[in-house]
Amino acid sequence: MQTDTSSVTGRHGTTIVYDVHRPAGDPVGVVVISHGIGEHGGRYRHVARALADLDYLVVVPDHAGHGRSGGKRMRVDDFSDFIADLDTVIEAVGSVAVPRFLIGHSMGGAIALRYALDHADRLDGLVLSGAALVPGKGLPPVLVKLAPFLGRVVPWMPSTTLPSEAVSRDADVVADYQTDPLVWHGRIGAGLGGQVIGAMADFPKELPSLTMPTLVLHGGADVLADPDGSVMVGDLAGAEDVTVTIYPGLFHEIFNEPERDAVIGEVTDWLVAHTADRGSEPGRLGVESGAVETGE
């Protein structure tokens, strides 16, 4: 797997850095990965490798305010900024003659779902992992109602922190998460939290318009993103081809749990099957890229 790093100018002039993981042969499909809140795309390298081994080209951006991308840390003017930046990255991939899929985890799952609802013509399938699609059960209803307002009025106000122990049952994963300098370890501001909760409010009424093939995966013991959101997709999505798997006992980052091989295997099996269903035309991808970081 060869990895190139590039950047684009996102909304508000923010620099969005993204990696392109290239397979050894001609790509059979393109997979874009949208990471979760407070983390960065580099934490999905093992997922990208599994996909590249199956000849997928994998594109992984760091969201604005995250990782290597520009912008104030953990701040966003509007949730739609994430969708616009993601679209700019996807546009930078160039003209493709193979199927294109989007994977979104946690907050990145909410971004991915919003993107799929807004740009259905640009995707052939959607995969959601531990997606944050409904407010957590522990949040008081009054706070959920006020969150978008508070986010606009006092976006700088510290809100909550993410307990690293809830990320995975794998102690090594938790240790790496805690020491990763590109992971945000402070409090999440009211602005970002309010934008995410505000975006959640639209999903129930808009899910019937989601008609593309969709795979939804969630850890049953996830306390950071409520599994009810994934069940909601299965119940309300308009697509005939929707698969929902809740893994009993797994924590939030199902791609980093001890059972990661089985989870990633379900994703790759689904992608391969839907790539075959979609079909592809011969041709190479014109992917813009920068300097090569690594070659494996």
pLDDT by residue (tens digit) across 24-42?
Answer: 999 999 999 999 999 999 9
Give me the CATH number covering residue 221: 3.40.50.1820
Annotation says 7 is catalytic? no
Look at residue 260 and tell me if it is in a domain: yes
105 is catalytic: no
pLDDT digits (tens, 9 = 90+) for 156-168: 455 677 889 999 9
Pairing of strands 56-61, 15-22: antiparallel
Residue 291 has pLDDT above 50, yes or no: no
Q: Whole domain around residue 64: which residue ranges?
A: 2-137+202-277
Domain contains 220: yes
Q: Is 12 a domain residue?
A: yes
- Cα separation of 36 and 123, whole Å? 20
In whole angstroms, what is the distance from residue 82 CA to residue 91 CA?
A: 14
- Give me the catalytic one of 129, 222, 226, 274: 222
| List 7, 106, 159, 230, catalytic entry | 106
Rounded distance, CA 293 to CA 33, Å?
Answer: 19
Would you say residue 23 lies in a domain? Answer: yes
Give pTM, 2 decimals: 0.89
Number of domains making up the chain: 1
Q: Are strands 100-105 and 158-160 parallel, antiparallel or unpaired?
A: unpaired
159 is annotated as an active-site residue: no
Whether 177 contacts 208, CB under 8 Å: no
Nearest to 253 by CA among 165, 135, 134: 165
Is 86 part of any domain? yes
In this structure, of 118-127, 133-142, 155-164, 281-290, the range with the lowest mean pLDDT score is 281-290
Residue 151 has pLDDT above 60, yes or no: no
Mean pLDDT over each residue of the chain, to the nearest integer: 87
Q: Is 197 inside a domain boundary? A: no
Residue 188, classed as helix, strand or coil, is strand
